[in-house]
Amino acid sequence: MAFYQQQPFYNPKSPFKGSIQGGLQDGKSIIISGRVLPHAKRFDVNLQCGSHSQADIALHFNPRYENGSGYVVHNTFQKGNWDSEERKYEIPFPSGHQFTLQILVTQDTYKISTNGRHFMDFRHRVAYSQVDTISVNGMVELNSIGFQNPALFVPPQTAFLPQFATPPGYGFPAYPPAVSYTVPYKTVINGGLYPGKNILIQGIINPNAHRIAFNLRHISGIAFHYNPRFDQDVVVRNSHHMENWGPEERFGGMPFKKGQPFQVTISCNPHHYNVFVGGQQAHTFNHRFTTLNEIDILEVSGDLQLTLVQA
């Protein structure tokens, strides 16, 4: 089977409808990043079988902000009719906030994660091989819609397992980890960065930690230096180019705790990085080095243990 490496859609306007080149395959992932507009009432993401107005919808993901709380509806639309709804009474994306939504296609289900954290599974009612269109509608501002093919994922024994094993019954096989992570740790980011690319890091902060650091590097420096400092109770963000550090950014809180597990998602957007810690947005950092595909190394260092890296 031939896989198409599709370029992301950048800054699409809602309502949006676009083609999924090559359709869906087992292991393909779609990553949508953006911001829910303030006072939003609802928005939806649809994986469709065609682009016409009455096309079948294999997956309808529909956050609804109602009565001060809200919920998410999951459904399908077939032969002109909606099927039975599945509702989850939780809103993973607060209105007015940035978000990253990832939909991973598996043989039996769509696995949906929000801001790097598993949200729910939705079993196939329509064959995913028929899906060739994505649409987004409603009160949302989009940064990018990106695609990752199965060939771009690390093997299943290291991809997603610890990150998504927290909620029992997530459905991934219980493969033992095949990688032993030694800190400091360095790995290649296959293909470099691009809008829609997510980097996932999970581990445990040492009880007496002073500092940790995550670096996204290119050949002549560090595009993004993310540096939680427990001795100063601050997270420093910076870049390093041609042997010189840029101006530090220090505003925002400290989302990490000594002795506690952590999960970080660094989401690359067209103009900035979003950093989610434990599924909550913690910081943003505007691109200073803009040739994203040349950013091809991830480094992790400091007072921590690693349990998962997906770059």
In this predicted model, what pLDDT tens digit does every residue of 205-222 receive, in sequence order? 999 999 999 999 999 999
Lowest mean pLDDT among 86-100, 103-117, 168-182, 288-302: 168-182
**For position 162, what pLDDT does the model report?**
35
Domains of the chain: 9-153 (2.60.120.200), 185-310 (2.60.120.200)
Indicate whether 154 pLDDT > 50. Answer: no
pTM (predicted TM-score): 0.65
Contacts of 68 (CB under 8 A, 6+ apart): none
Rounded alpha-carbon distances, angstroms, from residue 228 to 109, 122, 261? 37, 36, 14
Distance of CA 134 to the CA centre of its chain: 17
CB–CB of 100/198 below 8 Å?
yes
Query: Between 242 and 172, where is the model more confident?
Result: 242
Confidence of residue 1 (pLDDT cuts 50, 70, 90): very low
Q: Which residues pair with 61 in a beta bridge?
A: 45, 74
> From the CB of residue 45, how many other CB atoms can be counted at a distance below 10 Å?
22
Q: Percentage of residues in the chain with pLDDT exceeding 90?
A: 62
Residue-wise pLDDT tens digits, 226-277: 999 999 999 999 999 988 999 999 999 999 999 988 889 999 999 999 999 8
Question: Are 151 and 26 within 8 A, CB to CB?
Answer: no
State the average pLDDT over residues 69-73: 90
pLDDT of residue 158: 35
pLDDT for the residue 174:
33
- Nearest CA to 287 out of 260, 269, 307, 264 is that of 269
Is pLDDT above 60 for 157? no
Contact criterion met (CB below 8 Å) for 216 and 298: yes
Residues 77, 79, 85: CA angle, nearest 5 degrees: 25
Check residue 179 and give its pLDDT.
Answer: 52
Between the CA of residue 286 and those of 197, 227, 244, 274, what are the distances in Å?
Answer: 15, 16, 18, 9
Which of 170-179, 180-189, 207-216 has maximum average pLDDT? 207-216
Q: For residues 300 and 90, give the distance between their C-alpha atoms in angstroms, rounded to a whole number.
A: 33
Residue 129 burial class via C-beta count within 10 angstroms: exposed 0-12, middle 13-18, buried 19 and up: middle
Predicted confidence band at 98 (pLDDT cuts at 50, 70, 90)? Answer: confident
pLDDT (0 to 100) of residue 5: 62
SS3 163: helix
| Higher pLDDT, residue 2 or 121 | 121
pLDDT of residue 171: 34
Environment class of 233 (CB within 10 Å of its CB; exposed 0-12, middle 13-18, buried 19+): exposed
For 15, 97, 155, 187, 242, the CA distances from 38, given in Å and listed in that order, are: 17, 8, 39, 38, 40
CA-nearest of 36, 264, 12, 236 to 144 is: 12
